[in-house]
Structure 1
């Protein structure tokens, strides 16, 4: 049976209290994965998906730590990434006290959270993206496994919609995240491209990347499945370990991702990789 410890404060970031919830597996010495929620970087919190996704995965033998991170528009990137790295360091500093295995950690993200979690995994040693949120700077923010669900791989690509697409999908999440002042107009697009330069996951892959499990729906109209496949291909070409799952009939944030079979597959992969 899954037990839950809630509202643990892991950092105070500029007056914003950042908290996490631990969904503890009943399995002895279960591996631990950090969960970063979706919501276009503008909404959601650590309680998002708790009952439909997080707790059911914990029931499959993986302890899940769902974390808060600061949201756009109040916080411009890379503060969100600084928060997640701070949460990983906090877990390592407190793992023994909490009875958690934190020497090898995974990160699991959905949509916007998948991009952040993947960038966390691919930016080890990048001082500009590390930050000092929560302290514990003597601890590593590296992760050893990544589950990437229907997330972006290249922010400029997913933001670069045609005029028709922009009317059908009238959001500008990427511009909000990067503080590019909206996606409309040539000036906005140029500003977004400049800020997104160097933040594409595709340019950061290497043979040293941790193993990735990438899942996308073939009917995703928000983040095209080509984004997930491009990340998988880039990792494979670089000599990294990557598995790509295409869910037939699934759209963005589709309930099929939370189906028992898919959660069991995800948990089994995490247990195998994290040991």
Structure 2
């Protein structure tokens, strides 16, 4: 009975988290979603009638195509097979930024024990990549995000790319299950150390045969350390892993803060790429992790290429900062400058656009967009493929110039016709972010 009460408390906490970010179980399409496709079966139901092999897709009405994809899974201590519930709240944040959003469900621990949950998320990723063209998704730009057990799933998917034992044979096979960046909230890692890391005031008995962790792996965790190690994201850390950000509250009663400390130290030791945001006084709730009252107080640990920085208040836990981190990991660019120059003659002109990457992460594959305010019409272009629909212009890299390192730039040119005034376009965007205009 006690174990059931504890499990119910975790599920209740998960529902509280959903409410804190505006999630409703009865989902409504976000305003910027042009298309919402629900209950897509990425694999046959197992067991029959269950929901663990379903996903929902929220496709934005704005932005360039193909779109980057953000995969979301809501945590439940592995007790729910409906982890996609509430994805509408995440889509409401990221659809307007040009991201497609997929809410993915996996089997719960009563339906199948580990590694089934990892097999499922990888099957969903493979299905999404195999069907990327159908939904105008960029197969090379997959991000994943989740909280609690969903954060654990995020870390497993991010860190175990290429591990054959965790691929499984669920659903679509023969396609990569890799993601390019991950973001996790208050995730468990080393189950065997959770009791020792509990707060002095107490916490869950993670060693219990009825604990969420024991039910996940199918044995009391202290009796099967080899199986538990396979379920530990730290087991799969190496220097080639994608960038990972994870956040944890120092007052977390359900999943000890030390779990993320362990993961950060492992990634640092392996010269990996990680950002760990430690939030004082925050419990196991998104609303507390993102509480503006804590801005400036959080400790931020960053390790890249065996170099570490530690600061206080250097990265506030906001959706804008999370989006910037994901964009950086996807090599979409985080800030930019554009210089625009023209040379005119009767009824026509040439234009040159120079894009400078002012962010700290590279841009790989770029699209620049703008809108004319007059009757300008593109007739020719070089160093980019330029198309025009009405007043809207889209310029895509020419392949040889697709990479723009931090502080570097690329240029392209075009010819166009125009009559009357020919002002500089009001705004330029690089991969859906607004660039600062600078003199040519």
TM-score band, normalised by the shorter chain? 0.7 to 0.9
Q: Which has the larger radius of gyration?
A: 2
Which segments of 5 or more consecutive residues in structure 1 lack a partner in the other structure? Answer: 181-187
* TM value normalised by structure 2: 0.56
1:76-124 per-position Cα deviation (integer Å, ceiling 9, x unaligned):
1111111100000001110001111122211112110111221122222
> CA offsets per residue over residues 233-263 of structure 1, 9 Å max, x none?
2212211111111234321023244679622
What whole-Å deviation, never above 9, does each CA across 1:18-61 have from its counterpart, x for those lacking one?
Answer: 21111233332342121122000012624433344443243444
Judging by fraction of residues, say which structure has more strand.
Answer: 2
Q: Tell me, yes or no, if the aligned pair for 2:114 and 2:231 is still in contact at 8 Å.
A: no
Closer/same/farther in 2, CA of residues 178 and 140 from structure 1, 3 Å limit: same
Normalized per residue, the structure richer in helix is 1
- RMSD, aligned CA: 2.7
**Which residue of 142, 150, 168 corresponds with 2:178?**
142
For structure 2, the residue ranges without an aligned partner over 5 or more in a row are: 1-31, 293-316, 333-440
CA shift for structure 1 position 13: 4.5
* Partner-residue secondary structure (3-state), 2:64: coil
The answer to whether the 8 A contact 1:62-1:271 is kept is no
Match status 1:224 vs 2:256: yes
Q: How does 1:87-236 map to 2 (within 5 A)?
A: 87-135=124-172, 137-158=173-194, 165-166=203-204, 172-180=211-219, 188-236=220-268
Matched, 1:255 2:287: yes
SS of the aligned residue for 2:133 comes to: helix
- Number of positions where the alignment pairs a residue of Structure 1 with one of Structure 2: 267
Moved more, 197-206 or 88-97: 197-206
Separation in structure 2 between the aligned mates of residue 159 and residue 134 of structure 1, nearest angstrom: 36
Query: Which residues in structure 2 correspond to 1:61-100 (within 5 Å)?
Result: 61-100=98-137
SS class of match (2:63): coil
How far did 1:75 drift?
Answer: 1.0
Alpha-carbon distance in 1 for matches of 2:289, 2:95: 15
Q: CA deviation at 1:264?
A: 1.7
Secondary structure (helix, strand or coil) at the match of 1:105 reads strand
Distance in 2, Cα, partners of 1:189 & 1:46 = 24
2:64 aligned with 1:28 = yes
1:270 is aligned, of 326, 329, 332, to 326
CA distance in structure 2 between the partners assigned to 1:24 and 1:43 by the alignment:
25
1:123-173 superposed Cα distances (whole Å, 9 cap, x missing partner): 2232221111112x22100111011111012122226688x6447998611
Q: Distance in 2 between matches of 1:69 and 1:127?
A: 19
CA distance in 2, matches of 1:160, 1:139: 40
Confirm or deny: 8 A CA contact 1:175 1:192 kept in the other structure.
Answer: no
CA distance in 1, matches of 2:274, 2:244: 5
Give the number of the structure with larger relative contact order, counting CA–CA contacts within 8 Å between residues 6 or more apart: 1
CA distance in 1, matches of 2:206, 2:144: 32
Which residue pairs with 1:184 in the alignment?
A: none
1-side partners of 2:136 and 2:204: how far apart? 48
